[in-house]
Structures are given as structure tokens and as C-alpha cells.
């Protein structure tokens, strides 16, 4: 993988994931969409690197950097989301975001802490992901996620 600018590892190429890919076009982000579902991965914009593979395979081969690696988790299954969170929070990243409600995150936290993941490590996860702009459509969520990612990248204190 190229090690050029900020790298977004986007787990989940569904409706919101595709919208995030489109929203980040023309920004400094190099986007990698990871989804084992060929039918969804083939729909990401051509400027995005689609990885049609299980998330574990991508994670094992990815380059991780506390300065340049950003992670957004928005798969089609809660159990996948939880497994990815558990794995990536232990890796060097600048940002980890998870799509979902505060209730979803509270359940994940309880289970992950029960498995020994330190509270301080889990405090790094942004859930709900994005900044609160009030909208719920895939494009509105994507814009809120893109705004938060860009704010973190550019060092804006309100973004994180």
C-alpha cells in the first residue's frame, strides 16, 4: 500500500460506506474500502481502492500508523463491527470511528471490557461516528463522517 497521505480504512462498502467514499473524493485521504461482498465492493468510486476480502486478511497485511491511519467501521453486521473494533483499537491509528447508536456502543464496550480490552483503549472510539448534523440519510451521515475525519486530519479541536 502506498504510504502517501492519510489512509482511511473503511470497513463496509454498503450505502453509507459508498457515500463516505464519494464525500472524500478530492480530499487528502487515500480511501481503502474493505468488504468481502463483491457486489458492494464493485460499486465504490474508481478512485477508491476496493479490497474484496475478509476484514481479518486486510488487517493482517495493512500498514498502521498513529499519524496517518484512520479507521471507519460500518459493516452490514454488528458482530463484524465488534470484532473489527476489538482488533483495530489495539493498533496504532489516529482515529477509529464506529457507525451506530450510543446504545450499540454501550453494549460493545461492556462486552469488550469483559474480554479485557482496557477502558482507555476503548475511549479512542468515536461512536456514533461523525459530527452531529441531524441528518440520517446515507449521504448526510457520510458528510458528517467526512467532516469529522477532515477536522481530525487538519487538527481542529472540535472534530475529535
Cα 135-37-98 angle, rounded to 5 deg: 40
Pairing of strands 30-34, 125-126: unpaired
> Which residue's C-alpha cell is 460493545?
108
Residue 160 has what pLDDT? 65
How much is the pLDDT for 157? 77
Nearest to 8 by CA among 158, 156, 157, 142: 142
In the numeric block, which cell numbers belong to residue 37?
461482498
Report yes or no: 142 and 20 within 8 Å, Cβ to Cβ. Answer: yes
pTM: 0.94
Instruction: Please list the pLDDT of the chain residue by residue as tens digits (160 residues).
Output: 444 789 999 999 999 999 999 999 999 999 999 999 999 888 999 999 999 999 999 999 999 999 999 999 999 999 999 999 999 999 999 999 999 999 999 999 999 999 999 999 999 999 999 999 999 999 999 999 999 999 999 999 777 6
The predicted structure's pLDDT at residue 106: 97
Residue 35 grid cell: 468488504
Predicted local confidence at residue 2, as pLDDT: 45
Q: Are 56 and 36 a contacting pair, CB within 8 Å?
A: no
Output phi, psi for 49, to 5 deg. Answer: -85, 115
51-69 core/surface letters (b: 16 or more CB in 10 A; e: else): bbeebeebbeebeeeeebb
Amino acid at each position: 500500500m502506498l504510504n502517501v497521505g492519510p489512509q482511511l480504512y473503511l470497513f463496509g462498502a454498503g450505502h453509507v460506506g459508498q457515500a463516505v467514499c464519494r464525500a472524500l473524493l478530492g480530499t487528502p485521504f487515500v480511501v481503502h474500502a474493505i468488504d468481502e461482498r463483491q457486489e458492494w465492493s464493485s460499486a465504490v468510486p474508481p478512485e477508491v481502492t476496493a479490497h474484496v476480502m475478509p476484514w481479518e486478511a486486510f488487517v493482517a497485511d495493512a500498514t498502521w500508523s498513529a499519524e496517518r491511519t484512520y479507521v471507519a467501521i460500518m459493516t452490514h453486521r454488528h458482530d463484524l463491527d465488534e470484532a473489527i473494533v476489538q482488533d483495530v483499537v489495539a493498533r496504532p491509528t489516529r482515529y477509529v470511528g464506529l457507525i451506530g447508536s450510543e446504545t450499540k456502543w454501550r453494549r460493545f464496550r461492556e462486552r469488550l471490557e469483559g474480554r479485557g480490552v482496557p477502558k482507555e483503549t476503548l475511549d479512542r472510539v468515536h461512536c456514533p461516528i461523525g459530527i452531529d448534523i441531524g441528518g440520517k440519510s446515507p449521504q448526510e451521515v457520510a458528510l458528517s463522517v467526512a467532516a469529522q475525519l477532515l477536522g481530525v486530519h487538519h487538527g481542529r479541536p472540535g472534530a475529535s
